Structure 1
Amino acid sequence: MSKSFVKAIEILDCFITNPEMTINELAETANMPKTTVFRLASSLEEAGLLVKKRKSSHEVTYRMGLKLLIYGKHVSQHMEYNKIALPHMKRLNKEIDELVHVTIIEGNEAVYVETVDSSKPVRLVVKIGARAPLYAGSAPKLLLSGLSNDEVDEYLKNVELKKLTKNTLDNSERIKEEIEKIRENGYSISYSENFKDTVGFSYPIYDHEGNMVAAIGVSIPDIDHTKEREDFLLVSLEKTVKKIWEETGYIQT
Structure 2
Amino acid sequence: MEDAKLTVRAVERALDILLCFRETTDLSLTEIAARVDLHKSTVHRLLASLEGKGFVIRNAATERYKLGFRIFELSANMSQSNDPEVLLLPEMEKLRDLIGETVSLYVRDGLERVRVQAVQSNQPIRRYAPVGARLPLYVGASSKVLVAFAESNIEAHVLQAADWPAWLDRQAYAQQLHETRELGFATSIEEREPGAAAIAAPIFNHAHKLVAAIAVSGPANRLTAEKMREHAPQVVEFASRMGAMLM
TM-score (ref. length: structure 1): 0.64
Structure 1 equivalent of residue 133 of structure 2: 130
Which of residues 128, 141, 161 is equivalent to 2:164? 161
Do the aligned residues in 1 keep the contact of 2:81 with 2:87 (CA within 8 Å)? no
Larger radius of gyration: 1
- Cα offset for 1:220? 1.4
Letter in 1 for 2:235: L
Match of 1:158, SS state, is: coil
Match of 1:244, SS state, is: helix
1:236-247 matches, cutoff 5 A: 236-247=234-245
Structure 1 equivalent of residue 190 of structure 2: 192
Which of residues 230, 233, 251 is equivalent to 2:231? 233
RMSD: 2.7
Percent identity between the two aligned chains: 25
Structure 1 equivalent of residue 200 of structure 2: 202
Which of residues 73, 81, 84 is equivalent to 1:81? 84
**Unmatched runs of 5 consecutive residues or more in structure 1:** 13-74, 164-168
* 1:197 to 1:208, Cα distance in 2 relative to 1, 3 A: same
Do the aligned residues in 2 keep the contact of 1:100 with 1:115 (CA within 8 Å)? yes
Paired with 2:7 and 2:191, the residues of 1 have a C-alpha distance of: 37
1:56-75 matches, cutoff 5 A: none
Query: Structure 1, residues 159-198: CA drift from partner, whole Å, max 9, x if none?
Result: 42227xxxxx712111111111111111111111112111
* 1:154 to 1:122, Cα distance in 2 relative to 1, 3 A: same
* 1:198 to 1:150, Cα distance in 2 relative to 1, 3 A: same
**Unmatched runs of 5 consecutive residues or more in structure 2:** 1-5, 16-77
Structure 2 equivalent of residue 171 of structure 1: 169
Which of residues 85, 103, 107 is equivalent to 2:106? 103
Query: Structure 1, residues 183-228: CA drift from partner, whole Å, max 9, x if none?
Result: 1111111111112111110011111111111000100101113454
Match of 2:198, SS state, is: strand
Do the aligned residues in 1 keep the contact of 2:187 with 2:197 (CA within 8 Å)? yes
Query: Structure 1, residues 74-128: CA drift from partner, whole Å, max 9, x if none?
Result: x968961222211100111112221000000112100111000011111101100
State yes or no: 1:142 paired with 2:145: yes
Letter in 2 for 1:224: R
Do the aligned residues in 1 keep the contact of 2:217 with 2:223 (CA within 8 Å)? no
Letter in 2 for 1:196: P
Do the aligned residues in 2 keep the contact of 1:161 with 1:171 (CA within 8 Å)? no
Paired with 1:109 and 1:175, the residues of 2 have a C-alpha distance of: 16
Structure 1 equivalent of residue 23 of structure 2: none
Letter in 2 for 1:248: L
Paired with 1:170 and 1:88, the residues of 2 have a C-alpha distance of: 34
Structure 1 equivalent of residue 213 of structure 2: 215
* 1:237 to 1:175, Cα distance in 2 relative to 1, 3 A: same
TM-score (ref. length: structure 2): 0.65
Paired with 2:131 and 2:89, the residues of 1 have a C-alpha distance of: 13
Structure 2 equivalent of residue 114 of structure 1: 117
* 1:161 to 1:212, Cα distance in 2 relative to 1, 3 A: same
